[in-house]
Chain A
Amino acid sequence: MKRFLIKTTIFLLFIFGLAWALDYTISKGLLKMEDYRFMSWSDILEGDIKADVIILGNSRGLSHFEPWTIDSVCGTKTYCLGLGGYPINVELLKYHCYLLHNIKPHYIIQQVDYMTMRMLKAPHQHQSEQFLPLIYDGGMHDELLRVGYTWKDLYIPLYRYWGYQMVIKNGLLEALGLKHYVNDPSRMGHHYERGAWDGTELARMDTIMATMDTAAMRLFEHYMQACYDDSIKVILVNSPTYIGATNKTKGLERVNAYFDSIATAYNTVYWNYTENYDLCNDTANFCVSVHMNPVATHEFGVEFAESLRSFFPPPL
């Protein structure tokens, strides 16, 4: 029995050490990839962004606002922190990570829409792999626990990578220098949605429900208050959505009224581009109902930047 226990323990300790090394290697490898899911995290952790304006939000925040267009029109330094996925708790995780390593911005362009006021556990959401390399940032542990990770994810090596076969493979190959992934890279955190119009998903849905979660609203208001206290101006923007989807969405009045009320309460604005806006009327401007294609994104970006400049006159 003694022999069995000693041998088993030594073997398991060896395996544990190996697992830790593998975990570290994969995580570092992922952050080296030129892939939009990981590139902005890598920039954030390096702590050298120094942006006046940051863009925050879901995948629409990630793809609808071109930082370089805003910079050229407004003379700012802008960086995009939008992410694949949509719940507010996960969006704010990225913002908190940003604040841990970078100087605070003066302005935040916050993409908001009918999907924003929801809570979802990060490990269960779309593109959840983007959070995996973050575990080595000790300052993020509390935040990660808050968005649904558990102590097992944080302290048991490789545990959180369970089931992510491609991510493991890519991370390892990248870390070992066997392959460099240049796959959908981002530029200043921004990433375009590409592709011709695909209305399949929209056609499948009779109604889209705009729901607002109370806990999400509380979290959002807490964030708005914190920004207000820190003198960070948060501009709420609902970027263009194809009109066909807007018409199918129930409960939008409540959502828009809520963002209007928040804008008033925190002395800012809520710009809603989903109604009475030309770009919204033509499927040619969209890949899917909630994502504009690059041409329309640029067109919107120029107009948006002009509005931003007129709202915040130089020197911004």
Chain B
Amino acid sequence: MLFNSFEYLLFLPIVFLLYWFVFDYALRRSKHQLLWQNLFVVVASYIFYGWWDWRFLILIAITTILSFLSGLGIEYAPTQRGKKAVMIANIIVNLGILGIYKYYDFFAREFAELFGIESDFLLFHLILPVGISFYTFQALSYSIDVYRKQIQPTHDIVAFTAFLSFFPQLVAGPIERATNLLPQFQKKRTFDYATAVDGMRQILWGLFKKIVVADNCATYVDTVFADISNQSGSTLVLAAVLFTFQIYGDFSGYSDIAIGTAKLFGIKLMRNFNVPYFSRDIAEFWRRWHISLTTWFRDYVYIPLGGSRPDVPASLEAKGERRKARYTKWIAVRNTFIIFLLSGFWHGANWTFVLWGAYHALLFVPLLLMGKNRRYRDTVATTTLPNGAIKTKWLPSLKEAGSMLLTFALAVFGWIIFRADSVAMIQEYIVGMCNSLILSFPNTSGINALLLNIVVLIFVEWWMRTKQHGLDIRHLHPVFRYAVYAGLLFMLFAFSGQTVNFIYFQF
């Protein structure tokens, strides 16, 4: 079921009303009220997910059961080695399922090509289950956190299933941590008017980003990418910029809808995007883009590998500070490449994603080596007052604007690699961009309204950059607020384009 579909428009209010009226209010005196409410979340989530293909419910059920049992296994294993073995077994099985569905055919094809053999008999031709990478990573985080004693293993399989299959974030994140989401299913939720209204606003803003911006960009971008050789350099540049907004509108729009929906059910999900295109360098960009995945790799891969401050082996201790520093830097660079390459490959079984990861690693490493990767921790053009309040400025300084523009341009280039179907296509696109017509006026026929809407998006996000989302307008006068809601709804309708699937569903 798509968030921007008619089915979801019916599904959401029905589930909302049943959740609060039947499974909360009507059962308020039942001692099993929480159990019933969680069970209802599970049923609703399975209906939501099964809408695509009910057969994949089996997979998610297997992941759920195995991860739940692994938690118990870690708890009851008598030795530390046993606990570790259970955790590793759970990781292997879950990554095994992910690997078979997502990567097996890719590797089989590459293997066959390498050895010049016929690949057809090697391939499984499996359909990739929607959101498998998201819920697998969420399941892994649970058993790792239990092993690390960051969370107590749960004995409540219903709450655990609700945690793993909660429908707003099931298919495209945010990839939640057990430490944040699971406890919320273990205690009674209470309806909060302000949170629910804020959730509705966030859903509306997410829909704007998806329907008005991303889907309209998709029409232009798809046409250009389907016929690269016949486009002028400037048109290719414009298409790359539009894809930059498409993927942001699509994915951050999805995240806003997911987070907003969860708020309606009294659940707080983690933030997934924080105005990434206003970043002043690539390191800041990665702190603001797909935050749930970036922090996942940081916490479960980068830091365990030693991060940027690895333990120095005893053999080097005696060999001087320079050798030690060189070793530390080398490990930090290695780890950076590992997480960026993994992060790229997480997106899909294609060398283009690996290249995209490598490209960002190459941009990140110089900052890391110069110790400037944590330079920008605040939001651009803001000042923190002594009382902790944040004061925003109308405009960035010239230096900030330049840094943002450069970072944006680097991100745009990265998105060309990400969007291309093959390495040859990347090459064709870049060569095409560099042709003499790069200075000509790009083909903008039929996209004037889209360009205007992108300006609206940029303006609103800039204005609201210190808030949780673009439509956090709770402090405005009600008349103005309702006018904004009605205006946005009108824009959703007037600028509706083709209904496009969310890009991140394929991952």
Binding site for B on A (CB under 8 A): 1, 3-4, 8, 11, 14-15, 18-19, 22, 152, 158-159, 161-163, 165, 168-169
Contacts and interface: CB of A to CB of B under 8 A. Distances in A.
B193 A161 contact: no
A158 B20 contact: no
Nearest to B450: A165
A165 B497 contact: yes
Interface stretch (B35-43, B78-86, B129-137, B485-493): B485-493
B494 interface: yes
Contact of A163 (B196, B489, B496): B496
A102 to B, nearest CB: 34
B397 interface: no
Contacts of A159: 6
Given A1-B20, A165-B497, A11 B485 contact: yes
B193 A169 contact: no
Interface string B361-394: 0000000000000000000000000000000000
Contact of A8 (B200, B493, B495, B497): B200
A26 to B, nearest CB: 10
A100 B376 CA distance: 70
Contacts of B482: 11
28 contacts: A1-B20, A4-B191, A4-B193, A4-B197, A8-B200, A11-B482, A11-B485, A14-B486, A15-B486, A15-B489, A18-B486, A22-B493, A152-B6, A158-B493, A159-B6, A161-B493, A162-B493, A162-B496, A163-B496, A163-B497, A163-B499, A165-B449, A165-B494, A165-B496, A165-B497, A168-B493, A168-B494, A169-B494
Interface in B438-454: 449
A86 to B, nearest CB: 22
B230 interface: no
B486 A163 contact: no
B152 to A, nearest CB: 32
Nearest to B196: A4
Per CB-CB distance, the 4 closest pairs between chain A and chain B, nearest first, are A1-B191, A162-B496, A163-B496, A4-B193
Nearest to A3: B193
A3 B490 CA distance: 25
A240 B495 CA distance: 41
B498 interface: yes
A11 B196 CA distance: 15
Centre residue among A4, A15, A168 by max chain B CB count within 10 A: A4
A246 B22 CA distance: 66
A126 to B, nearest CB: 16
Contacts of B196: 4
A200 to B, nearest CB: 14
B242 to A, nearest CB: 16
Interface in B466-495: 482, 485-486, 489-490, 493-495
B193 A163 contact: no
B453 to A, nearest CB: 11
Given A1-B191, A165-B497, A168-B493, 17 more contacts: A1-B25, A3-B193, A4-B193, A4-B196, A4-B197, A11-B482, A14-B486, A15-B486, A18-B486, A22-B490, A152-B6, A162-B493, A162-B499, A163-B496, A165-B494, A165-B495, A169-B494
